[in-house]
Amino acid sequence: MNEIEKKADIIIIGGGVNGCSLAYQLAKKGKKVVLCERNYICSGATGRCGAGIRQQWSTRENTELSIKSIKIFEKLEKELGQDIGLRQGGYLIIVHNNKDMIQAEKNVKMQKELGLDVSILTPDEILDVVSILDIEGMKAIGATFCPTDGHVDPFKTTHAYAKAAERQGAKLYKFTNVTDIKTKNKRIDCVVTNRGKIKTNIVINAAGAWSKQIAEKLNIKLPNKPFRKEILVTERVKPVFKAMVISFKDGIYFSQQDEGQILGGIPIPNEISGYLTNPTFDFLNHMSKTLTRYSPKLKYVNVIRQWTGYYDVTPDARPILGEVDEIKGFIQCNGFSGHGFMLSPMVTKILTDYITDGKSSDILEKLLIKRFKDKEITHETSVVG
């Protein structure tokens, strides 16, 4: 392996979508950036995710972040000079009872105030969007639908960011494990890796489900917990729908790829936190039964593969961003709780503005780790998987 740099303005830990997007944006602003990834680019949650992108959330912060992120995704292919596989077929969120409809109406009102094109559909209108659904099987009384939600290819996007970052002068070191972080006078001093030390005053912790361990090296306790999440893909069948179908009550999400495969996931009941990697029969069983209840026509479609990845889950299902109070220059970009791909464009822009211009924002202030000291925290309730 080649010698590594001895000094950098900023060191990013983690070569997922967030780390690579940060590397690109910070290098573009003239910073000397080093990214350390202990495996290969996309080896964490990014390379295992569904990569659905939606703007329909219950909290203002997530809604605002995702509306702005999708606007960035829409221009990203041009900016990075590479296809990112963006497809906007909408998200159809199934509502099953009157209580959940009240929450859905509240969400839609807030989303519309933020300028989102979103509407509430009747059961008949649901079938206009995805004709193979079974209204009775799903026990649906309606749905919400946003046509500009969709899907992006996580590999194409992350590698496009990585290549663009390198063109801007960033160094992306694969198979480079961060083993320690040293401080001097409560300020970041250097990062220790299996390939040597790198001096720096700024470290960004974008290590996904391993961010907690990174923070522990500096005696900072993150409340994040890793959860195994499973996902499957079927054989190709004739493409018949474009929207992502999801249900907060059942936890299921599924969509059809342009090539015809159905891709989707669901949480298995009573999953406990931990670094488990084995795929389970419980998942396959639960997913198949729920999926074919939603669409009996899919009964004859074969599953060809299932795999696992981790959600990095915070107590309020919202990310942890920004600098910690205890150590100058230690910046968090983690805790995405299963929606870190879709929020990445805006989250990394906010952090880049903070690092390069010292510019904070309302959203950044609300997502600092210190919010967990407050008596009441605002939970994101629109979550699946």
Q: Quote the least distance from Cβ 310 to ligand FAD, whole Å.
A: 6
318 binds ligand FAD (CB under 6 A): no
Backbone angles phi, psi at 233, to 5 degrees: -135, 140
14 binds ligand FAD (CB under 6 A): yes
Beta strand ranges found along 206-327 (DSSP E): 225-234, 244-246, 253-256, 262-265, 303-313, 320-323
Spell out, one character per residue from 118 to 157, where the chain touches ligand FAD: x when CB under 6 A holds, - when not: ----------------------------------------
Locate tokens 């026990």: which residue? Answer: 139
Locate tokens 């070569």: which residue? Answer: 15
Q: Quote the least distance from Cβ 154 to ligand FAD, whole Å.
A: 7
265 binds ligand FAD (CB under 6 A): yes
Who's near 87: CB < 8 A, 6+ residues apart?
150, 151, 152, 242, 258
Choice between 52 and 251, CB closer to ligand FAD:
52
43 binds ligand FAD (CB under 6 A): yes
Choice between 123 and 308, CB closer to ligand FAD:
308
Cα separation, 168 vs 39, in Å, equals 22
248 binds ligand FAD (CB under 6 A): no
Distances (CA, A) of 54 to 5, 77, 178, 279: 39, 18, 33, 26
19 binds ligand FAD (CB under 6 A): yes
Q: β-strand 33-36 against 10-13: which pairing, if any?
A: parallel
Which 190-209 positions form the footprint of ligand FAD (CB under 6 A)? Answer: 206-209
51 binds ligand FAD (CB under 6 A): yes
Cα separation, 260 vs 236, in Å, equals 4
Which 322-381 positions form the footprint of ligand FAD (CB under 6 A)? Answer: 336, 338-342
Q: Quote the least distance from Cβ 207 to ligand FAD, whole Å.
A: 4
Of positions 10, 11, 12, 17, contacts ligand FAD by CB under 6 A = 17
Q: Quote the least distance from Cβ 309 to ligand FAD, whole Å.
A: 3
26 binds ligand FAD (CB under 6 A): no
Residue 196, phi-psi category: left (phi > 0), alpha (psi -120 to 50), beta (remainder):
left
Locate tokens 């999440």: which residue? Answer: 229
Stretch that binds ligand FAD, among 118-126, 281-289, 309-317, 355-363 (CB under 6 A): 309-317
Stretch that binds ligand FAD, among 11-19, 68-76, 88-96, 137-145 (CB under 6 A): 11-19
Cα separation, 331 vs 191, in Å, equals 14
Distances (CA, A) of 114 to 93, 151, 276: 19, 21, 39
Stretch that binds ligand FAD, among 1-9, 47-55, 125-133, 283-291 (CB under 6 A): 47-55
Tell me the Cα Rg of the chain. Answer: 21
Stretch that binds ligand FAD, among 23-31, 32-40, 107-115, 267-275 (CB under 6 A): 32-40
Choice between 120 and 276, CB closer to ligand FAD:
276
Q: Quote the least distance from Cβ 91 to ligand FAD, whole Å.
A: 10
90 binds ligand FAD (CB under 6 A): no
Distances (CA, A) of 345 to 36, 75, 158, 171: 20, 11, 11, 20
What letters, b where the CB count within 10 A reaches 16 and e where it falls short, cover 209-226? Answer: bbbbebbebbebebebbb
Locate tokens 């999953």: which residue? Answer: 271
HEC states along 180-206? EEEEECCEEEEEEECCEEEECCEEEEC
Stretch that binds ligand FAD, among 30-38, 102-110, 113-121, 368-376 (CB under 6 A): 30-38
Binding site for ligand FAD (CB under 6 A): 13-19, 36-39, 43-46, 48-52, 177-178, 206-210, 214, 229, 231, 265, 309-311, 336, 338-342, 385
